[in-house]
């Protein structure tokens, strides 16, 4: 959030203190989702007083609800907050550019950990299919991955992009029509900026709770596998390119409220869903 501080007017946003808990002693109270990140705190001897959403949830009856709903319940129970909005309130410098490139689909093919990566070959095949039906496909990657993906994209009708800052990445996504990616923070950023998301997850049921929730979004369904061990080992094979395409087309229908996909964007997809 410190990297996006200019997009949060009215809030004071500081970087995480390098000296851990010692850097928090000037505050009256500290809230983190977890007890160990971004600052490791001893819950038995917190100083200053410390609240954790995760610890609070462990004390509540198990419920099936979205993360934002859990945040609302926590805020009401612990901080007695009744006046609640689930708006993210990010304000890019050029709000008028929101989704101005409706044909651009941003693909983020990596994630925080390798076990969450889908197949690089299938991401490339997805990009080829989408460009054939009129989309402008743009991959976004970290600097360490840029050279590998640019080599893979040589001669292909799509681009691979690396941005120096989170603001530059956010501005690029903010101006795009759709976002497709693994379970990662970039998908949540896209959703917070109002860009509809298609999320590929190794644990789709669990992801229903943690999915990007600010803009319309879909979790790509898997081909059914009978055993949990098989699902963990072969989940990449259970997510087909066709399933991702169909999810994108369904997302368009959700946006327009029409029974038929948006003619300007989806005409070619109907014939391009073979797995």
Q: What is the pLDDT of residue 237?
A: 82
pLDDT digit string (tens) for 188-245?
999 999 999 999 987 777 777 788 889 999 999 887 767 677 677 778 788 899 999 9
φ, ψ dihedrals at 9, nearest 5°: -65, 145
Q: What is the pLDDT of residue 43?
A: 67
Q: What is the pLDDT of residue 275?
A: 41
Residue 160's SS3 state is strand
Q: What is the pLDDT of residue 221?
A: 82
Q: Give the total residue count for the chain.
A: 275
Low-confidence ranges of the chain (pLDDT < 70): 43, 45-46, 225, 227, 230, 258-275
Identify the bridge partners of residue 169 per DSSP, sorted by sequence position.
none
Question: Which domains does the chain show, CATH number per domain?
Answer: 2-79 (no CATH), 101-271 (3.40.50.2000)
Comparing C-alpha atoms, which of 110, 168, 118, 108 is closest to residue 138? 108
């Amino acid at each position: 959030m410190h990297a996006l501080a200019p997009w949060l007017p009215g809030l004071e946003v500081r970087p995480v203190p390098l000296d851990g808990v010692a850097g928090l002693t000037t505050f009256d109270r500290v809230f983190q989702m977890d007890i160990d990140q971004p600052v490791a705190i001893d819950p038995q001897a917190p100083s200053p007083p410390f609240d954790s959403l995760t610890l609070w949830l462990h004390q509540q009856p198990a419920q099936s609800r979205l993360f934002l709903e859990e945040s609302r319940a926590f805020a009401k129970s612990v901080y007695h907050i009744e006046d609640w909005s689930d708006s993210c309130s990010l304000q890019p410098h050029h709000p008028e550019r929101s989704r101005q490139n409706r044909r651009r689909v941003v693909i983020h093919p990596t994630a925080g950990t390798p076990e969450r990566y889908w197949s690089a070959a299938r991401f490339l095949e997805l990009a080829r299919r989408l460009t054939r039906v009129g989309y402008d496909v743009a991959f976004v990657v970290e600097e360490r991955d840029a050279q590998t993906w640019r080599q893979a994209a040589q001669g292909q009708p799509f681009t691979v992009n690396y941005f120096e800052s989170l603001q530059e990445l956010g501005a690029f996504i903010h101006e795009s029509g759709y976002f497709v990616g693994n379970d990662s923070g970039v998908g949540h950023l896209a959703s917070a900026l109002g860009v509809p998301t298609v999320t590929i997850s190794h644990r789709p049921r669990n992801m229903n709770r943690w999915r990007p929730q600010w803009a319309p979004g879909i979790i790509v369904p898997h081909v059914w596998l009978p055993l949990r061990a098989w699902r963990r080992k072969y989940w990449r094979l259970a997510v087909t390119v066709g399933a991702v395409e169909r999810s994108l087309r369904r997302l368009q229908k959700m946006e327009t409220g029409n029974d038929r996909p948006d003619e300007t964007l989806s005409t070619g997809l109907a014939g391009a869903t073979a797995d």
